[in-house]
Protein backbone atom coordinates (compact mmCIF):
# COMPACT_ATOMS: atom_id res chain seq x y z
CA UNK A 1 0.00 0.00 0.00
CA UNK A 2 1.04 3.60 -0.56
CA UNK A 3 2.82 5.19 2.35
CA UNK A 4 4.30 8.66 2.73
CA UNK A 5 6.30 9.39 5.87
CA UNK A 6 7.48 12.92 6.58
CA UNK A 7 10.31 13.76 8.93
CA UNK A 8 12.63 16.60 9.83
CA UNK A 9 10.25 18.97 11.57
CA UNK A 10 11.04 20.69 14.83
CA UNK A 11 11.45 24.02 16.56
CA UNK A 12 13.70 26.50 14.78
CA UNK A 13 14.52 30.16 15.30
CA UNK A 14 13.44 32.80 12.79
CA UNK A 15 15.93 33.19 9.99
CA UNK A 16 17.29 29.66 10.34
CA UNK A 17 16.92 26.70 8.00
CA UNK A 18 15.33 23.27 8.11
CA UNK A 19 15.10 20.37 5.68
CA UNK A 20 12.07 18.13 5.56
CA UNK A 21 12.06 14.67 4.04
CA UNK A 22 9.24 12.50 2.76
CA UNK A 23 9.95 8.80 2.27
CA UNK A 24 7.60 7.10 -0.15
CA UNK A 25 6.75 3.45 -0.61
CA UNK A 26 4.13 1.25 -2.23
CA UNK A 27 4.17 2.84 -5.68
CA UNK A 28 6.54 3.57 -8.57
CA UNK A 29 7.93 6.82 -7.19
CA UNK A 30 9.66 8.09 -10.34
CA UNK A 31 6.38 8.28 -12.29
CA UNK A 32 4.62 10.84 -10.11
CA UNK A 33 4.89 14.52 -9.33
CA UNK A 34 5.17 15.15 -5.61
CA UNK A 35 3.88 18.07 -3.57
CA UNK A 36 4.31 19.74 -0.22
CA UNK A 37 1.23 21.24 1.44
CA UNK A 38 1.14 22.97 4.81
CA UNK A 39 -1.48 23.71 7.40
CA UNK A 40 -0.95 26.37 10.05
CA UNK A 41 -2.47 25.54 13.44
CA UNK A 42 -6.24 25.76 13.22
CA UNK A 43 -6.10 26.98 9.61
CA UNK A 44 -6.76 25.62 6.14
CA UNK A 45 -4.56 23.93 3.58
CA UNK A 46 -1.92 25.88 1.68
CA UNK A 47 -0.11 24.35 -1.26
CA UNK A 48 3.64 25.00 -0.99
CA UNK A 49 5.58 23.36 -3.81
CA UNK A 50 5.61 20.73 -6.54
CA UNK A 51 8.38 18.79 -8.23
CA UNK A 52 7.95 16.83 -11.44
CA UNK A 53 8.62 13.11 -11.60
CA UNK A 54 12.15 13.55 -12.91
CA UNK A 55 12.93 16.64 -10.87
CA UNK A 56 13.26 18.90 -13.90
CA UNK A 57 10.31 21.15 -13.12
CA UNK A 58 9.52 22.85 -9.85
CA UNK A 59 6.99 25.45 -8.77
CA UNK A 60 6.40 27.27 -5.52
CA UNK A 61 3.73 29.28 -3.80
CA UNK A 62 4.47 32.99 -3.80
CA UNK A 63 4.67 32.91 -0.01
CA UNK A 64 7.78 30.70 -0.09
CA UNK A 65 9.34 31.55 -3.45
CA UNK A 66 13.02 32.37 -3.10
CA UNK A 67 13.24 30.86 0.39
CA UNK A 68 12.19 27.22 -0.11
CA UNK A 69 13.53 24.67 -2.56
CA UNK A 70 12.22 21.24 -3.44
CA UNK A 71 14.21 18.26 -4.64
CA UNK A 72 13.89 14.51 -4.94
CA UNK A 73 16.08 11.45 -5.03
CA UNK A 74 14.35 8.80 -7.10
CA UNK A 75 16.94 6.20 -6.08
CA UNK A 76 15.82 6.68 -2.47
CA UNK A 77 12.12 7.28 -3.15
CA UNK A 78 12.37 10.50 -1.18
CA UNK A 79 11.31 14.10 -1.73
CA UNK A 80 12.79 16.99 0.23
CA UNK A 81 11.79 20.51 1.17
CA UNK A 82 14.65 22.83 2.04
CA UNK A 83 13.32 25.77 4.01
CA UNK A 84 15.59 28.80 4.45
CA UNK A 85 15.05 32.18 6.08
CA UNK A 86 12.20 30.78 8.12
CA UNK A 87 9.56 33.12 9.49
CA UNK A 88 6.98 32.78 12.23
CA UNK A 89 4.28 32.49 9.57
CA UNK A 90 5.94 29.31 8.26
CA UNK A 91 4.83 27.54 11.44
CA UNK A 92 2.64 24.69 10.25
CA UNK A 93 2.14 20.98 9.81
CA UNK A 94 3.85 20.08 6.55
CA UNK A 95 2.39 17.27 4.47
CA UNK A 96 3.82 15.62 1.41
CA UNK A 97 1.32 14.39 -1.13
CA UNK A 98 1.39 12.27 -4.27
CA UNK A 99 -0.08 13.34 -7.59
CA UNK A 100 -2.92 11.00 -8.58
CA UNK A 101 -1.91 9.98 -12.09
CA UNK A 102 1.29 11.83 -12.78
CA UNK A 103 1.08 15.54 -13.39
CA UNK A 104 -1.52 18.32 -13.25
CA UNK A 105 -3.73 16.21 -11.06
CA UNK A 106 -5.33 15.91 -7.66
CA UNK A 107 -3.44 14.51 -4.67
CA UNK A 108 -4.48 10.95 -3.92
CA UNK A 109 -2.26 10.12 -0.94
CA UNK A 110 -1.01 12.27 1.90
CA UNK A 111 1.43 11.63 4.69
CA UNK A 112 0.70 12.28 8.35
CA UNK A 113 2.72 15.47 8.35
CA UNK A 114 5.69 16.85 10.24
CA UNK A 115 5.33 19.91 12.46
CA UNK A 116 7.54 22.94 11.98
CA UNK A 117 7.52 25.63 14.64
CA UNK A 118 9.40 28.85 14.00
CA UNK A 119 9.93 30.67 17.26
CA UNK A 120 12.65 32.44 19.16
CA UNK B 1 -3.27 32.89 -9.00
CA UNK B 2 -6.68 31.26 -9.15
CA UNK B 3 -8.61 32.01 -5.96
CA UNK B 4 -11.02 29.39 -4.64
CA UNK B 5 -13.90 30.53 -2.45
CA UNK B 6 -16.11 28.08 -0.59
CA UNK B 7 -19.52 28.64 0.95
CA UNK B 8 -20.64 28.37 3.60
CA UNK B 9 -17.70 28.46 6.02
CA UNK B 10 -19.58 26.10 8.32
CA UNK B 11 -22.65 23.96 8.06
CA UNK B 12 -24.75 21.92 10.48
CA UNK B 13 -26.88 19.13 9.03
CA UNK B 14 -28.96 16.44 10.70
CA UNK B 15 -28.06 12.79 10.31
CA UNK B 16 -29.60 11.36 7.17
CA UNK B 17 -30.11 14.79 5.62
CA UNK B 18 -28.39 16.29 2.58
CA UNK B 19 -25.33 18.51 2.87
CA UNK B 20 -24.28 20.85 0.08
CA UNK B 21 -20.99 22.74 -0.12
CA UNK B 22 -20.20 25.23 -2.85
CA UNK B 23 -16.91 26.25 -4.39
CA UNK B 24 -16.28 29.08 -6.80
CA UNK B 25 -13.07 29.72 -8.71
CA UNK B 26 -11.89 33.18 -9.77
CA UNK B 27 -11.41 31.90 -13.31
CA UNK B 28 -12.55 28.88 -15.22
CA UNK B 29 -10.83 25.58 -14.44
CA UNK B 30 -12.36 23.89 -17.47
CA UNK B 31 -9.72 22.94 -20.02
CA UNK B 32 -11.43 23.13 -23.38
CA UNK B 33 -9.13 20.72 -25.21
CA UNK B 34 -10.16 17.77 -23.05
CA UNK B 35 -13.39 19.12 -21.53
CA UNK B 36 -12.17 18.37 -18.02
CA UNK B 37 -12.67 20.51 -14.95
CA UNK B 38 -9.45 20.56 -12.92
CA UNK B 39 -11.23 20.54 -9.58
CA UNK B 40 -10.94 18.18 -6.60
CA UNK B 41 -12.63 17.80 -3.22
CA UNK B 42 -10.95 16.61 -0.04
CA UNK B 43 -12.19 15.55 3.36
CA UNK B 44 -10.16 16.20 6.50
CA UNK B 45 -11.51 14.56 9.61
CA UNK B 46 -10.38 15.92 12.98
CA UNK B 47 -6.77 15.02 13.67
CA UNK B 48 -6.28 13.33 10.30
CA UNK B 49 -4.62 14.07 7.00
CA UNK B 50 -6.77 15.15 4.06
CA UNK B 51 -8.27 12.45 1.86
CA UNK B 52 -9.21 12.77 -1.80
CA UNK B 53 -12.93 12.30 -2.40
CA UNK B 54 -13.63 13.68 -5.88
CA UNK B 55 -11.41 14.52 -8.85
CA UNK B 56 -12.15 15.99 -12.29
CA UNK B 57 -15.04 17.70 -10.47
CA UNK B 58 -17.33 14.67 -10.49
CA UNK B 59 -15.37 11.41 -10.34
CA UNK B 60 -15.32 9.58 -7.02
CA UNK B 61 -12.05 8.08 -5.95
CA UNK B 62 -12.24 4.32 -5.52
CA UNK B 63 -13.56 3.42 -2.08
CA UNK B 64 -15.40 6.69 -1.50
CA UNK B 65 -19.05 6.06 -0.56
CA UNK B 66 -21.54 6.89 -3.28
CA UNK B 67 -23.37 9.33 -1.01
CA UNK B 68 -20.60 11.76 -1.98
CA UNK B 69 -21.02 13.41 -5.36
CA UNK B 70 -19.47 16.35 -7.17
CA UNK B 71 -20.97 18.55 -9.84
CA UNK B 72 -20.44 21.80 -11.69
CA UNK B 73 -18.28 23.19 -14.46
CA UNK B 74 -16.23 26.24 -15.31
CA UNK B 75 -16.18 28.33 -12.16
CA UNK B 76 -18.98 26.92 -9.98
CA UNK B 77 -18.87 23.56 -8.25
CA UNK B 78 -20.77 21.66 -5.59
CA UNK B 79 -20.02 18.78 -3.26
CA UNK B 80 -23.14 16.98 -2.10
CA UNK B 81 -23.45 14.39 0.64
CA UNK B 82 -26.82 12.79 0.02
CA UNK B 83 -27.45 11.32 3.48
CA UNK B 84 -25.16 12.56 6.20
CA UNK B 85 -23.49 9.97 8.41
CA UNK B 86 -21.72 10.62 11.71
CA UNK B 87 -18.34 9.81 10.17
CA UNK B 88 -18.79 12.63 7.65
CA UNK B 89 -18.06 15.27 10.30
CA UNK B 90 -15.00 16.95 8.83
CA UNK B 91 -13.66 19.98 7.06
CA UNK B 92 -14.07 19.83 3.29
CA UNK B 93 -11.79 21.60 0.84
CA UNK B 94 -12.03 22.20 -2.86
CA UNK B 95 -8.83 22.57 -4.89
CA UNK B 96 -7.99 23.62 -8.41
CA UNK B 97 -5.18 22.00 -10.33
CA UNK B 98 -5.81 23.82 -13.61
CA UNK B 99 -2.80 26.03 -13.14
CA UNK B 100 0.34 23.93 -13.09
CA UNK B 101 2.05 26.87 -11.41
CA UNK B 102 -0.09 26.64 -8.29
CA UNK B 103 -2.66 24.30 -6.79
CA UNK B 104 -4.86 26.50 -4.65
CA UNK B 105 -7.35 25.31 -2.06
CA UNK B 106 -10.55 26.87 -0.85
CA UNK B 107 -10.63 28.08 2.74
CA UNK B 108 -12.54 24.99 3.89
CA UNK B 109 -16.08 24.26 5.05
CA UNK B 110 -16.61 22.76 8.48
CA UNK B 111 -19.43 20.23 8.49
CA UNK B 112 -21.08 19.33 11.79
CA UNK B 113 -24.07 17.32 12.89
pLDDT, tens digit, for every residue of A20-74? 999 999 999 999 999 999 999 999 999 999 999 999 999 999 999 999 999 999 9
Question: CB contact, 8 Å: B103 with chain A?
Answer: yes
Res. A108: pLDDT tops 90? yes
The pLDDT score that the predictor gives to residue B99 is 86
Report helix, strand and coil shares of chain A as percent, to nearest 5. 5, 50, 45
The pLDDT score that the predictor gives to residue A102 is 77
B28-54: per-residue pLDDT in tens? 999 999 999 999 999 999 999 999 999
pLDDT band at A104 (very low <50, low <70, confident <90, very high): confident
pLDDT band at A103 (very low <50, low <70, confident <90, very high): confident
Question: CB contact, 8 Å: B78 with chain A?
Answer: no
Res. B108: pLDDT tops 80? yes
For residues A92 and A118, what is the distance between their CA atoms, to the nearest angstrom?
9
Contacts of A107 in chain B (CB under 8 A): 40, 42, 50, 52, 95, 103
For residues A50 and A71, what is the distance between their CA atoms, to the nearest angstrom?
9
Amino acid sequence: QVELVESGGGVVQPGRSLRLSCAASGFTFNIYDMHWVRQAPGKGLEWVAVISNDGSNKNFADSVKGRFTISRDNSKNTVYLQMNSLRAEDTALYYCAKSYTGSYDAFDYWGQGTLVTVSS
Amino acid sequence: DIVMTQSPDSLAVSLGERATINCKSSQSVLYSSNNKNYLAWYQQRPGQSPKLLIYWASLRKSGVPDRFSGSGSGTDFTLTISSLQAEDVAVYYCQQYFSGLSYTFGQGTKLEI
